[in-house]
Homo-oligomer: A and B are copies of this chain.
Amino acid sequence: MRFCRDSVPEPAVRAVVTLVWPGRCAQLLSVWLRRRSRRCGPLTRSFSSEKVIQKDCALPNPSWSKDLRLLFDRFMKKCEDGSWKRLPSYKQFFSKNFQGFQTLYLDPSLVKGEERAQLFTRSFEDGLGFEYVMFYNDAEKRVLCFLQVGPHLQGAPGFVHGGAIATMMDSTTGTCACRAGGIAMTANLNINFKRPIPLCSVVVIDSQLDKVEGRKLFVSCNVRSVDEKTLHSEASALFIKLDPDKSLRKKS
């Protein structure tokens, strides 16, 4: 089955976009869906023999360590009563399906390399880069990310690159901001690196929406060892809700 532009079922679009793209502006689709709905009428589903296989990367694979699996299992149980929700995650963004969405923020003719585009945090082979799963608690406006840092994320020998830590803090706080407060992009990220993270270890990233002021969403975050004894990093992040009438490419 293959989804075509303007024929993608809305639940599928919402599911994919809010989850394919957890670190950023997941709910950005609402605007496009509303516009498309006005333009196209009720959504229909298009079937063809060509299958699009999207692997959900936020599920265990053979590279996951015992620590990561235990955390995953513990929180999957917490999902049963609905208090927590696992967030699926995919490598690709269905760009062809979202030309309407893209034109809200950028000129599609200027987009380069979109055929080969992959979400940064999912662009490694299993086990070599970021192995992670995020869980969201709506009541607490909180996202937990369980992260195993692969050998291709090295900075200082034996330790994770500060940029890799920043990447996952941005993704986790971004997911928290978008889930809790709406479509938003990072405006500021202020990270204190306390203790370096050993390569190939598992850490817990805990982020929470602290405050909303108009279009500003304030999110805090920390990275701890699985036993919670070591505070590796902490950060504060500011996200700004996007205005669908303004392009991201032009000076707003």
Shortest C-beta distance, A11 to chain B (Å), equals: 20
Report how far A130 CA is from B121 CA in the complex, Å.
14
Instruction: Kindly state whether residue A124 has any CB partner on chain B within 8 Å.
Output: yes
Report how far A169 CA is from B198 CA in the complex, Å.
21
Select from chain B the residue with minimum beta-carbon distance to A23: B155
Shortest C-beta distance, A222 to chain B (Å), equals: 14
Residues in B neighbouring A129, C-beta threshold 8 A: 123
Residues in B neighbouring A193, C-beta threshold 8 A: 185-189
* Chain B proximity mask over A175-202: 1 for CB below 8 Å, otherwise 0: 0000000000111111111011011110
Residues in B neighbouring A150, C-beta threshold 8 A: 113
Q: How many copies does the complex hold?
A: 2
* Chain B proximity mask over A194-212: 1 for CB below 8 Å, otherwise 0: 0110111100000000000
Shortest C-beta distance, A227 to chain B (Å), equals: 14
Instruction: Kindly state whether residue A59 has any CB partner on chain B within 8 Å.
Output: no
Q: Which of A33-80 contact B (CB under 8 A)?
A: none
Q: Which of A137-177 contact B (CB under 8 A)?
A: 150-164, 166-171, 174
* Chain B proximity mask over A103-119: 1 for CB below 8 Å, otherwise 0: 00110101111111111
Report how far A171 CA is from B129 CA in the complex, Å.
18
Report how far A121 CA is from B124 CA in the complex, Å.
12
Select from chain B the residue with minimum beta-carbon distance to A28: B156
Which of under 10, 10 to 19, 20 to 34, or 35 or more describes the interface residues of A?
Answer: 35 or more
Shortest C-beta distance, A159 to chain B (Å), equals: 7
Report how far A183 CA is from B186 CA in the complex, Å.
31
A163-B120 contact, Cβ under 8 Å, with A24-B155, A192-B187? yes
Contact across chains for B188 and A162 when beta carbons are under 8 A apart: no
Select from chain B the residue with minimum beta-carbon distance to A20: B157
Contact across chains for B152 and A120 when beta carbons are under 8 A apart: yes
Within the complex, which residue of B120, B157, B169 is in contact with A154, where a contact is CB–CB below 8 Å? B120
Contact across chains for B154 and A119 when beta carbons are under 8 A apart: yes
Contact across chains for A163 and B168 when beta carbons are under 8 A apart: yes
Residues in B neighbouring A166, C-beta threshold 8 A: 163, 166-167, 170, 189, 191
Select from chain B the residue with minimum beta-carbon distance to A156: B24
Contact across chains for A163 and B170 when beta carbons are under 8 A apart: yes
Shortest C-beta distance, A50 to chain B (Å), equals: 22
13 contacts between A and B (CB under 8 A): A102-B158, A105-B156, A111-B199, A117-B152, A120-B164, A162-B186, A166-B166, A167-B167, A185-B193, A187-B193, A188-B192, A190-B190, A198-B249
